[in-house]
Structure 1
Amino acid sequence: MSQELLAATVAAVRQAGARMMTRYSTESRQPGLPELLANLQANDAAVVDTLRTALGQARPRAGWLNDEHGSGPMAAGEWWLIDPVGGNVNAVHGMPDWNIGVSLVRDGRPVLSVLYFPVLDEMFTATEGGGAFLNGVRLRVSVKASLDAALAGTGQAQPGHHPELARRMGDTYAAMMNSALYVQVSVPVTGQLAQVAAGRMDVHWQFDQVRSHAAGVLLVQEAGGVVTDLEGKAWDLAAESYLAAAPGVHAAALEVLTA
């Protein structure tokens, strides 16, 4: 993957982040669901409007998908896969934990990812075989070798969980609480994946995978982490669940989640 394409993607994402920052306020409060949904949609539209032109110029033959809740396999070829505002629900309530995520997927696997946290000005980047970086500094997953020192997490990929999925999430959360040092349930999911790549967290698992997680998965892989489905098989974009973790705790976390 060329450095020119990565630089163009970073520039586009940074521009989209600047546009979002003109919309973002720590004083933002939502009076009800209609207003909340309208603001979510307006944020997404502002980011997509900024990204679509720039990324189309950078890779004109690549397809375009900006359904952050999309799942399942993708058609062959290259696709821009966009999560306009990961953690958008945080952004519209004035909280800082949100990001803009872009990945380039080639024949079903991510080959480039850019994940930007505008409030913190943290730019995570990765290319297939080229490593993962935070603001230009190479990332490494943690060296922890025991779950009793691990920071773990999971989160909702999308609202409206089936009751059985919610029950399963609750059961594994309780099981992980009894094994790991600390466990969180939060969004954005890609934010947790970035923290695993940076070695700030050690374990992230997800039951309702969506394709937009690909940006964070590539970050973890390129930072030396292990990403599998919950049967221990290699991660695939169409998998329904996954575990991303530092190598020293992956096997133990998988055992907890599948007990």
Structure 2
Amino acid sequence: MNTVMPFDADATLLSRVTSVVKAAGVTLRERHTPHARGVSLDQIVAEIHANDDAVLDVLRQPLLEARRGSRWAEDELAGGALPSGEWWVVDPAEGNINHVHGMDEWAVTATLVRDNQPVLTVVHLPLTGDTYTAVAGGGARLGDRPLQVSAKTELGGALVGTGQARPGEDERTFRRIGDSVTAMLVGGLVVRVSVPATMQLIHVAAGRTDAFWQFSDVRSGLVAGALLVSEAGGTVTDLSGEPWNTGSRDFLAAAPGIHTAALKVLSPIA
């Protein structure tokens, strides 16, 4: 009797998920303009929701059919642990705020989370055609090319980044972000502050940047990058140094050679 192991099933599923995410990317690319859409907050929010709705129409049913018994995490800005089992954590327009402002840092992401650990992810950048993928235990790739995190060992030479997870975070979170940027400006080389998280995390996985942290538990912005970085040889923890999962309250993904130093800078910031 043949037994299909989880890795084999996930690896087989990856090509199907990639096709679905790329098809959704066509929809999001067709909605992109080289100029900002919306002036008032209400107009901007309406454009964001319109993007989400259009892309979810392409994503949702095919992904649920691709993995029978899987469930859908409805709120893309939600955080915290999920119930046991398999869940699709999807961002139909990761970097939606950039998209509606005519910029190019946005993507479509779909991640299968099993018992609060990401096990498969696809991140597709429709404007460039780049597709980042990972399966737990199988490595991370950009197209067919394996990804490897940075070999840096000195925080003083590191390019690092952070950003807010959602509009309207509480004041304490904003102060922590500001304090952490100041601390890393002193301890590191250069700090990038931008959104969305996934667009920074693909650079960590590819070894272009060296670390990313966030004072947030928004799942949809972290699960894809967490798997890509860990499968590319990086270290992914919370800011107390414990292994990260979707129930963690904060996040650090770094090249192994600078992870401890970054944690030492960030963990005291309360």
Where do 1:66-215 residues align within 5 Å? Answer: 66-212=74-220, 213-215=222-224
Specify which of 214, 218, 240 is matched with residue 231 of structure 1. Answer: 240
Return the alpha-carbon distance in structure 2 between the equivalents of residues 56 and 112 of structure 1. 14
Q: Cα offset for 1:210?
A: 1.1
Return the alpha-carbon distance in structure 1 between the equivalents of residues 130 and 164 of structure 2. 23
Structure 1 counterpart of 2:24? 16
Specify which of 6, 28, 40 is matched with residue 48 of structure 2. Answer: 40
SS at match of 1:82: strand
Tell me, which stretches of 5 or more residues in structure 2 are unaligned?
1-6
Q: Cα offset for 1:209?
A: 2.0
The one-letter code of the counterpart of 1:37 is: V
Specify which of 257, 260, 263 is matched with residue 248 of structure 1. Answer: 257
Return the alpha-carbon distance in structure 2 between the equivalents of residues 85 and 29 of structure 1. 15
Conservation of the 8 A alpha-carbon contact between 1:39 and 1:92: yes
Q: Cα offset for 1:32?
A: 1.3
Identity over aligned pairs, percent:
47
Return the alpha-carbon distance in structure 1 between the equivalents of residues 225 and 253 of structure 2. 10
Return the alpha-carbon distance in structure 2 between the equivalents of residues 56 and 227 of structure 1. 28
Q: Cα offset for 1:120?
A: 1.8
The one-letter code of the counterpart of 2:66 is: A
Specify which of 255, 258, 267 is matched with residue 258 of structure 1. Answer: 267
- Please state if 1:49 is matched with 2:57: yes
Q: Cα offset for 1:27?
A: 2.2
Q: Cα offset for 1:70?
A: 0.8
Return the alpha-carbon distance in structure 2 between the equivalents of residues 14 and 123 of structure 1. 8
Q: Cα offset for 1:161?
A: 1.3
Q: Cα offset for 1:60?
A: 2.5
The one-letter code of the counterpart of 2:36 is: S
Return the alpha-carbon distance in structure 1 between the equivalents of residues 59 and 145 of structure 2. 25
Return the alpha-carbon distance in structure 1 between the equivalents of residues 260 and 117 of structure 2. 23
TM-score, scaled relative to structure 1:
0.97
Return the alpha-carbon distance in structure 1 between the equivalents of residues 170 and 84 of structure 2. 30
Tell me, which stretches of 5 or more residues in structure 1 are unaligned?
none
SS at match of 1:90: helix
The one-letter code of the counterpart of 2:129 is: D
Q: Cα offset for 1:148?
A: 1.6
Specify which of 9, 27, 31 is matched with residue 39 of structure 2. Answer: 31
Specify which of 4, 12, 37 is matched with residue 4 of structure 1. Answer: 12
TM-score, scaled relative to structure 2:
0.93
